[in-house]
């Protein structure tokens, strides 16, 4: 080691180091851990660094270094010898990189071996110093390493802060979306209720059929987003009947061919109404196709098989289930078991046989349980989208 006149860190600081000090906290004495099995080297390093204002701890081996780092997680830099008995400097480097990733490590080596140096860099060292070195070389490397450490810490703090900001904004956005979705639900329910008010005979049909459709769609394996879309479509399926004249909508007896034609227009009318509303655009496909039959005998377009949107094929079963199990002016209501037989009988012509199979696998009690739940739900507590999102069968 060369002997040099002792100067303070600031006095010593050449111009090129001044910029590097910008990120160093001036009010804090930086702590450097020196690891070297040779006492004279430890002594010289400690003296040079302390003379330049650093707080230095020096240990003789890697085991002591690891213990020291456990007790002092605020260490700013480790200078470690490579060749030491027991755990060598490269192994210590691995431990520090793994357990203390924010602490920069500079390797000290007496051997000018490119393999050792490249190996150290590859394993995470940020610099190396070839022994013997002079004070200038030492302080230059130390300053650079400390700067590197500070940037790492700033980066980690920035990242953590950013994650907190993102988390907080995501939570706020989620809450807003939830409120918005609830507003959509309330709007949907007002539209459905407006229809129910016109046709007292089918009161509650929209809600029951939504619950049945969701239960069946969930069993069929559809995801939450698909369930939400189908729930909206199911709830509004007959919304086009708002434009159907009372004389036809409320007629007790059989409709004439002309009246039937007018009645059938409710699918296209409903589609036209709902399709214009952006959050209901996908749901409008179910509204349009809810009277199509699997064999192509339905209306208004005579779609066949998988040309009928999946939601509409699922809905068709739920709609029939509710129609059969609800009282009508022209007949009494039938049991869920009877409805089930009828749906099974119509598999392949009116209904998609794959969905009928899923329907038949569901227990009969489910439908009466859902019916009770829907009918006993307090006013305003149904929530079309909420129903689709949160109910587990």
**What are the residues binding Fe ion (CB under 5 A)?**
238
Structural tokens at position 393? 């069968």
Q: Which residue, 95 or 242, has its beta carbon nearer to Fe ion? A: 242
Tell me how far, at minimum, the Cβ of 264 lies from Fe ion, in Å. 9
- Of 317, 369, 367, 325, nearest to 345 by C-alpha is 317
Tell me how far, at minimum, the Cβ of 164 lies from Fe ion, in Å. 51
Tell me how far, at minimum, the Cβ of 172 lies from Fe ion, in Å. 40
Structural tokens at position 223? 């995801």
State how far the Cα of 336 lies from the Cα of 344, in Å rounded to an integer: 12
Count of other CB atoms within 10 angstroms of residue 370: 21
Q: Which residue, 238 or 285, has its beta carbon nearer to Fe ion? A: 238
Q: Which residue, 93 or 191, has its beta carbon nearer to Fe ion? A: 191
Report yes or no: 287 and 233 within 8 Å, Cβ to Cβ: yes
Tell me how far, at minimum, the Cβ of 392 lies from Fe ion, in Å. 29
Q: Which DSSP letter does residue 255 get?
A: P
Q: Which residue, 108 or 230, has its beta carbon nearer to Fe ion? A: 230
Q: Which residue, 185 or 238, has its beta carbon nearer to Fe ion? A: 238
Tell me how far, at minimum, the Cβ of 225 lies from Fe ion, in Å. 25
- CA atoms within a 13 Å half-sphere pointing along the CA-CB vector of 333: 11
Tell me how far, at minimum, the Cβ of 291 lies from Fe ion, in Å. 6
Q: Which residue, 106 or 195, has its beta carbon nearer to Fe ion? A: 195
State how far the Cα of 26 lies from the Cα of 43, in Å rounded to an integer: 26
DSSP β-ladder status, 31-35 and 55-59? parallel
Q: Which residue, 238 or 352, has its beta carbon nearer to Fe ion? A: 238
What phi and psi values does residue 59 have, to the nearest 5 degrees? -130, 160
Tell me how far, at minimum, the Cβ of 363 lies from Fe ion, in Å. 27
Report yes or no: 269 and 240 within 8 Å, Cβ to Cβ: yes
Q: Which residue, 150 or 237, has its beta carbon nearer to Fe ion? A: 237
Structural tokens at position 22? 């910008």
Tell me how far, at minimum, the Cβ of 287 lies from Fe ion, in Å. 9
State how far the Cα of 153 lies from the Cα of 159, in Å rounded to an integer: 10
Structural tokens at position 9? 């860190």
State how far the Cα of 86 lies from the Cα of 285, in Å rounded to an integer: 74
Q: Which residue, 149 or 270, has its beta carbon nearer to Fe ion? A: 270
Q: Please return the burial class of 283, using the count of CB atoms within 10 Å of its CB with bins 0-12, 13-18 and 19+.
A: buried
Residue with the shortest CB distance to Fe ion: 238
Give the helix/strand (H/E) hosting 95.
helix 89-99
Give the helix/strand (H/E) hosting 34.
strand 31-35
Count of other CB atoms within 10 angstroms of residue 28: 10
Tell me how far, at minimum, the Cβ of 234 lies from Fe ion, in Å. 11
Three-state SS across 13-64?
Answer: CCHHHHHHHHHCCCCCCCEEEEECCCHHHHHHHHHHHHHCCCEEEEECCHHH
Q: Which residue, 60 or 323, has its beta carbon nearer to Fe ion? A: 323
Structural tokens at position 242? 């708002």
Tell me how far, at minimum, the Cβ of 162 lies from Fe ion, in Å. 51
């Amino acid at each position: 080691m060369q002997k040099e006149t002792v100067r303070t860190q600031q006095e010593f600081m050449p111009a090129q180091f001044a910029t590097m000090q910008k990120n160093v906290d001036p009010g804090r004495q930086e702590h450097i851990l020196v690891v070297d099995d040779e006492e004279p080297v430890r002594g010289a390093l400690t003296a040079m660094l302390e003379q330049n204002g650093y707080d230095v701890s020096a240990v003789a081996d890697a085991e002591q270094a690891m213990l020291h780092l456990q007790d002092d997680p605020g260490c700013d830099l480790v200078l470690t010898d490579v060749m030491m008995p027991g755990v060598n400097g490269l192994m210590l480097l691995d431990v520090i990189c793994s357990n203390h990733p924010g602490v920069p490590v500079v390797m000290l080596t007496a051997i000018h071996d490119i393999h050792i140096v490249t190996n150290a860099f590859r394993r995470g060292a940020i610099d190396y110093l070839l022994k013997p070195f002079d004070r200038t070389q030492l302080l230059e490397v130390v300053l650079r390493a400390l700067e590197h450490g500070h940037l790492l810490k700033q980066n980690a703090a920035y990242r953590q802060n950013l994650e907190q900001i993102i988390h907080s904004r995501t939570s706020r956005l989620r809450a807003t979306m939830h409120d918005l979705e609830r507003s959509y639900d309330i709007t949907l329910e007002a539209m459905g209720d407006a229809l129910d008010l016109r046709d007292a005979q089918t009161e509650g049909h929209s809600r029951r059929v939504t619950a049945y459709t969701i239960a069946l769609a969930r069993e069929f394996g559809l995801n939450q987003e698909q369930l939400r879309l189908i729930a909206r479509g199911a709830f509004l399926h007959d919304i086009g009947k708002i434009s159907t004249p009372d004389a036809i909508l409320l007629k007790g007896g059989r409709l004439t061919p002309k009246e039937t034609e007018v009645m059938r227009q409710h699918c296209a009318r409903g589609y036209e109404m709902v399709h214009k509303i952006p959050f209901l655009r996908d749901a409008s496909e179910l509204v349009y196709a809810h009277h199509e039959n699997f064999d192509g005998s339905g209306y208004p377009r005579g779609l066949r098989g998988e040309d009928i949107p999946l939601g509409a094929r699922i809905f068709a079963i739920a709609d029939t289930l509710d129609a059969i199990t609800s009282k009508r002016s022209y007949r009494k209501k039938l049991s869920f078991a009877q409805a089930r037989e009828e749906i099974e009988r119509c598999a392949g012509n009116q209904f998609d046989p794959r969905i009928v199979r899923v329907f038949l696998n569901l227990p009969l009690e489910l439908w009466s349980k859902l019916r009770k739940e829907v009918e006993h739900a307090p006013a305003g507590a149904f929530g079309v989208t909420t129903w689709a999102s949160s109910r587990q069968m």
